[in-house]
Amino acid sequence: MSISTLTLRALALFTLLIASGCVTRPPTIAHVHVGHALTGVHVTPGQAGYLLVAEERAVAVRDLAQKAAADTSLPQIKTDVAAAVAATVSDDTFGLRHSIVQASNHISFAATSDDASANIRASAPQFARDIVRVVERCELIGLLGKDVAATPNVQEAQTLAAEIAKLAQQNIDGEDADHDGLVGGKPPEYGMKQLRARLSEMIAREDPPYRTVDQTYLFNLVLLPNGKWVFDKFKRGGNIEGYK
């Protein structure tokens, strides 16, 4: 077989690989930032995406608060409420407030990337506004938790725990603040369900389509001194100091 024949066959095989999708390209930097919000990031529990952590925390807070509201033991109520507050406002353990803010931050990082689509650039500031009510409810839960910790009265503690449970449920499902019959119908009423839907809609509009980002890229994004984001070719993991 001649060299020219081998060359032609090699070129044909290469063309076939491209056509079949076997030759892969790295995701855009913008999509990696989105992946940190949706799929995984190196610093979270289980290396889950920030939105996933936020959703898990929201359910945990609701369950703890409902249990506290049904408790008859003041020490147990205070214990459960303290755990609910931690799952809401703790930064160190990725509480709901911290996790949803970080999810929004990473969508904003995506929007400021050189390769961001017009869709992501337009969606990021809106999502940052959409999370405001969830963050406000988290702050209220933290304040009510302090009241529970201070009260010597079991009935008052139960009432406060019930209010925390109500806010926690709204952080999952949204609320009907204007009493128009629609729960989570507008951003000031949003909970995690609506925030998830807004990000899903953003992803659905991406062109070229967004694909789930592999951990190789999720965990090896670094920032150069010149302000450019690149992938660490040595795959040392850990991202950069301060990128969380």
Q: 222 in helix, strand or coil?
A: strand
Q: What is the 3-state secondary structure (H, E, C) of 17-73?
A: HHHHCCCCCCCCHHHHHHHHHHCCCCCCHHHCCHHHHHHHHHHHHHHHHHHHHHCCC
Please give the pLDDT value at position 180. Answer: 95
Q: State the average pLDDT over residues 215-229.
A: 81
* Contact indicator for 41, 47 with CB cutoff of 8 Å: yes
Structure confidence by residue, pLDDT tens digits, 24-43: 578 899 999 999 999 999 88
Whether 21 has a pLDDT exceeding 50, the answer reads no
Residue type for position 228: K
Paired tokens of 155: 């009935």
Paired tokens of 197: 């839907």
Structure confidence by residue, pLDDT tens digits, 71-84: 999 999 999 999 99
Q: Which of 111-120, 177-186, 188-197, 230-239 has the lowest mean pLDDT?
A: 230-239
Q: State the Cα–Cα distance between residues 195 and 35, nearest whole angstrom.
A: 16
N-terminal to C-terminal alpha carbon distance within the chain: 56
Which residue's structure tokens are 């949803």?
Answer: 100
Q: State the average pLDDT over residues 158-167.
A: 98
* Contact indicator for 167, 61 with CB cutoff of 8 Å: no
Q: How sure is the predictor about 59, in pLDDT bands with cuts at 50, 70 and 90?
A: very high
Structure confidence by residue, pLDDT tens digits, 108-140: 999 999 999 999 999 999 999 999 999 999 999
Q: 163 in helix, strand or coil?
A: helix
Angle at 182 (CA atoms; ends 200, 196), nearest 5 degrees: 15
Please give the pLDDT value at position 24. Answer: 59
* Contact indicator for 39, 217 with CB cutoff of 8 Å: no
Q: Model's pTM, two decimal places? A: 0.84
Beta-carbon contacts of residue 200 (< 8 Å; ≥ 6 apart): none
Please give the pLDDT value at position 223. Answer: 76
User: What does the mean pLDDT of the chain come to?
Assistant: 88
